[in-house]
Structure 1
Amino acid sequence: MKLNVTTIRKFLHKSQKPIGFVSGSWKTTQRFIDAEKRNFELLFFAFSIGLSVGLVGSVFRLTLDYINKLSTELYAYNSNGKLINYFILIILSTISVLISYALVKNLAPEASGSGVQEVEGALDQARPLRWKRVLPVKFVSSLFSLGSGLLLGREGPTIQIGANIGKMFTDTFRRPDDEVNPLVSAGAAAGLATAFNAPLSGIVFVIEELHGHFHYKFFSLAGIMIASSTADFVVRALIGVDPVVHMTIFNHPPLQSIWMFFVFGLFLSLVGYLFNAYLIKTLNRTRKLSKRNAYIYAGTVGIVVAIVGIFNFNLIGGGYQTIRFVLDHSFTFVFLLILFLSRLILTILGYSTGVSGGIFAPLLAMGVVFGMLFGNMMQSVFPAQILSPGIFAVAGMAGIFASTVRAPLTGLVLAIEMTANFELILPLLVTSITASIFTTMFGNKPIYTTLLKRTLENAAQQHK
């Protein structure tokens, strides 16, 4: 072959395409490698967040359990008819509520209440996550508010703490902006798993309740699954593996009784509508109080709760004691009705004080009480179809969550994980779906959506 200029040019022209192809392929391969590296880094940080939330949440739960144990002993010791002992209990409860309120009001107002609405706002980039302030304030103030006996739950604080730990990791390790949403969501999922020993509920909660705020991608979903399961593993290793609610494991009820759960869900939809409506009305009224009157209001609620606790300590607190109290005894229709209404009112009053504390646990307790109330009625009328009213207690946990939070799947999974009653999936589904559909038809908005809207409106007014 004779080499000349023309031959050389043809050879070089043909060689340019393979060389360019190889170069382009390498760049594409490098982009894939970089993307995979970032995805695995995301999963590693999700694991680290779950580990941290599990540790912090376990310390929080163990400390709170110790405080509650002391409170139980204190009420048992001092409830002997002496006026001075009653006075001491009332003073301690009131001071605890006031300390919690002062910490929140003066140091981190966003730590007020549940905190779930703040997490939703942060995922939408509408609210800041000031983790340096919120983490210590939420932790300490929640111990005082929950330890005082107020009818508030630990799950709101652990969810907000978990989300802020997620933000702490993104800031500390300077993660890209597109990782803030999945890592904060992973922290929130881990927080719920920590509160209830319910990892699946934490995952479902983010997907269902935070669906409009959580940026759904495969690795984001994998991140919340890793964080939730890791946190649950830590909690079970440090605290225990038993279900949060100890109760009978029920068999599936007869199929001819399923219609009762439809009726039960309808009643729960009304309960959810009333709870949300009066909670927002009470919050709107307390928001108008002066600083001095707000402290007086918070202290007054603390006094009322202490007086109820003196009457019966099982009737106050987040609701776990109430659940065991109701399940372990047989009560009249009138007593259960009074218990339900009193917890409904005291939960609204406690949350409206502005201290730290969630509403999941109080709602679940109300669902149990209302379920026993309805179950006793059904058993008296249809004894052959209802062998135990406790079945409605489990369904009540799922149904009342569905009607207030409008997250029926989360309520269903939460009730099953907390009680280990896996046989009751069908009646719980019927109750949850019915409650959520009818409460929507009544015009009931999801409670956290309403709370977030109020928070944004308040923030806008303060900046005017």
Structure 2
Amino acid sequence: MTLPETLPATTQTPSWYRLRLGAVVVLTGVGAGLGGMLLAMLLHAIQHLAYGYGQDALTSHQSFLLGVTSASVQRRVAVMALCGVVAGVGWWLIYRFGRPLVGIRQAVAAQGPVMPAKTTLAHALLQIITVALGSPLGREVAPREVGALVGGSLARRAGLAPEMQRLIIACGAGAGLAAVYNVPLGGAVFVLEVLVGSFSWPAATIALATSAIGAGIAWIGLGAQTQYVIPGFTQTPDLIVWSLLAGPLMGIAAYGFSQLTGRARQRAARGWQLPVLALINFTLVGCIAIYLPQVLGNGKGPAQLGFDSQLTLGLAAMLLVAKVLVTTSTLRAGAEGGLLTPALATGALLAIVLGCGWNLVWPGVPLGAFAIVGAAAFLASSMSMPITAIVLVVEFTRVDHDFLVPIILAVVGSVCVSRWCATWGK
């Protein structure tokens, strides 16, 4: 998607068109912000209802992890079996009776199809419900889809040029991401790096405006919260050396993760197999949660534990294997969801495993510092968005500015090796 020709010079643009464009930008940010806020509030409400913990922890950073840990093992299995029924029947109904789904990347492509409103909303709601019940997939796709749907509808009604409509769809998706995670800069960078794939000042301005508005609107119901509360870490020479060495290893692991999840999505169950495999998969995930309750949910709990240096080598290794296993099996069973937080958690867990070994040679770095750097490096390669990953991790954690040095070094090493693996694997 090229941008310079999509935005005519201001002197050549009629005033009515500029007014319409401005109104669409503002309303897209507002709509995406409200959508992201309502989806996040629905997620929290279902979590509390399903696992029976108090409403006073509605926006607590570890509320879901604490809730599932406190719940009885019977309740964990029962809720996950229910999740399997909801996921299997829900997506079977969508694929059987709904209009064909249109992804955001399809919608922003040249002459891309229009996202069907009812099917897209049902798809987004089902993702939120299943993640709230304990699905190991991410929740970020749903608010992005809602934001893109809002933006596309407004742009078409305003009669904007087709190229501008596609840009507004992309910005709506970024605003939805910004709203649900309170990452106004990350949402804008995601638009430019991942959805648009090029840069222009007008596009950057619109992306920044919609993401900032979306994040600000979501504060009404969610507050201006930080996704992860971390201790005060400082970068040290040994952490920088570790980042240089661990980055390439993260790239190899991220390439393997993306291959596994990609193949699982390609072979996802459809037809009568979908409800059957979904019920079996989620029930088995509930059985795993008897011993490892941290596997439930999108991975925010394990990531927070990693950033807090609260994981031992043994527990981190078990959670790493379990997280990759349940994420892949859930995609194969036909469930839908994002991979942003699962990839973040996987990178943090892998970094802790590597960091424990490093501390035997050069002790002194807190495990949480390894986890933050590793999470960024793994996320950057597994989702092919190095700049977005750096910005998101910084906004997620509010980590000290000097931490950018080891994060960037690890991301560069990870992305270079991951892309080399992709080239070699062809």
TM-score by length of 1: 0.80
CA distance in 2, matches of 1:193, 1:108: 28
Letter in 1 for 2:88: L
Match of residue 67, structure 1, among 46, 49, 74: 46
CA distance in 1, matches of 2:76, 2:238: 51
1:155 alignment counterpart: 140
* Deviation sequence 1:308-353 (CA, Å, 0-9, x none): 2333432210111222344456443232112101101111122233
Runs of 4+ deviating beyond 4 Å: 74-78, 107-111
2:400 alignment counterpart: 422
* Deviation sequence 1:107-136 (CA, Å, 0-9, x none): 44755xxx8xx2122211364232422342
1:297 partnered with 2:277:
yes
Residues 177/351 of structure 1: CA separation in 2 closer, same or farther (3 Å cut) = same
Residues 362/444 of structure 1: CA separation in 2 closer, same or farther (3 Å cut) = farther
CA distance in 1, matches of 2:253, 2:87: 27
Deviation at 1:243, TM superposition (A): 0.8
Residues 38/400 of structure 1: CA separation in 2 closer, same or farther (3 Å cut) = same
Which secondary structure state, in structure 2, belongs to the residue aligned with residue 209 of structure 1? Answer: helix
Deviation at 1:156, TM superposition (A): 1.3
1:230 partnered with 2:223:
no
* Deviation sequence 1:28-57 (CA, Å, 0-9, x none): xx9936445423432321111000110111
1:94 alignment counterpart: 84
Letter in 2 for 1:70: L
1:406 alignment counterpart: 384
Is the contact made by 1:155 and 1:360 (CA closer than 8 Å) also made in structure 2?
A: yes
Which secondary structure state, in structure 1, belongs to the residue aligned with residue 52 of structure 2? Answer: helix
2:65 alignment counterpart: none
Deviation at 1:295, TM superposition (A): 2.2
Is the contact made by 1:103 and 1:137 (CA closer than 8 Å) also made in structure 2?
A: no
Q: State the number of aligned residues.
A: 402
1:344 partnered with 2:327:
no
2:254 alignment counterpart: 272
1:241 alignment counterpart: 224
Is the contact made by 2:125 and 2:142 (CA closer than 8 Å) also made in structure 1?
A: no
Is the contact made by 2:299 and 2:345 (CA closer than 8 Å) also made in structure 1?
A: yes
Deviation at 1:233, TM superposition (A): 0.5
* Deviation sequence 1:250-307 (CA, Å, 0-9, x none): 12x2235412101111111111111111222223333xx5622232112211111222
1:139 partnered with 2:139:
no
Residues 34/411 of structure 1: CA separation in 2 closer, same or farther (3 Å cut) = closer
Letter in 2 for 1:64: L
CA distance in 2, matches of 1:338, 1:76: 17
Deviation at 1:90, TM superposition (A): 4.5
Deviation at 1:78, TM superposition (A): 5.7
Which secondary structure state, in structure 1, belongs to the residue aligned with residue 297 of structure 2? Answer: coil
Which secondary structure state, in structure 1, belongs to the residue aligned with residue 196 of structure 2? Answer: coil
1:314 alignment counterpart: 294
Q: Which moved more, 1:427-436 or 1:142-151?
A: 142-151
* Deviation sequence 1:131-155 (CA, Å, 0-9, x none): 4223421232113321231111111
Match of residue 415, structure 2, among 409, 413, 436: 436
1:370 partnered with 2:350:
yes
Match of residue 314, structure 2, among 315, 330, 334: 334
The aligned runs of 1:160-171 (5 Å cut-off) are 160-171=145-156
The aligned runs of 1:49-198 (5 Å cut-off) are 49-73=28-52, 79=72, 88-108=78-98, 111=101, 118-125=103-110, 127-198=112-183
1:383 partnered with 2:363:
yes
CA distance in 2, matches of 1:236, 1:87: 34
1:263 partnered with 2:241:
no
TM-score by length of 2: 0.86
Q: How big is the alpha-carbon RMSD for the aligned residues of Structure 1 and Structure 2? A: 2.6
Which secondary structure state, in structure 2, belongs to the residue aligned with residue 250 of structure 1? Answer: coil
Is the contact made by 1:282 and 1:349 (CA closer than 8 Å) also made in structure 2?
A: yes
* Deviation sequence 1:150-179 (CA, Å, 0-9, x none): 111111111122111111112333333232
Q: Which moved more, 1:178-187 or 1:130-139?
A: 130-139
Residues 363/256 of structure 1: CA separation in 2 closer, same or farther (3 Å cut) = closer
Letter in 2 for 1:219: P
CA distance in 2, matches of 1:91, 1:354: 15
Identity of aligned residues (%): 19
Deviation at 1:96, TM superposition (A): 2.4
Residues 86/51 of structure 1: CA separation in 2 closer, same or farther (3 Å cut) = closer
Structure 1 gaps of 5+ residues are 1-29, 451-464
CA distance in 2, matches of 1:95, 1:442: 38
* Deviation sequence 1:395-443 (CA, Å, 0-9, x none): 1221111111121111000000000003211111001111001100111
1:219 alignment counterpart: 202
CA distance in 1, matches of 2:307, 2:423: 30
Structure 2 gaps of 5+ residues are 1-8, 54-67
Match of residue 201, structure 1, among 176, 186, 206: 186
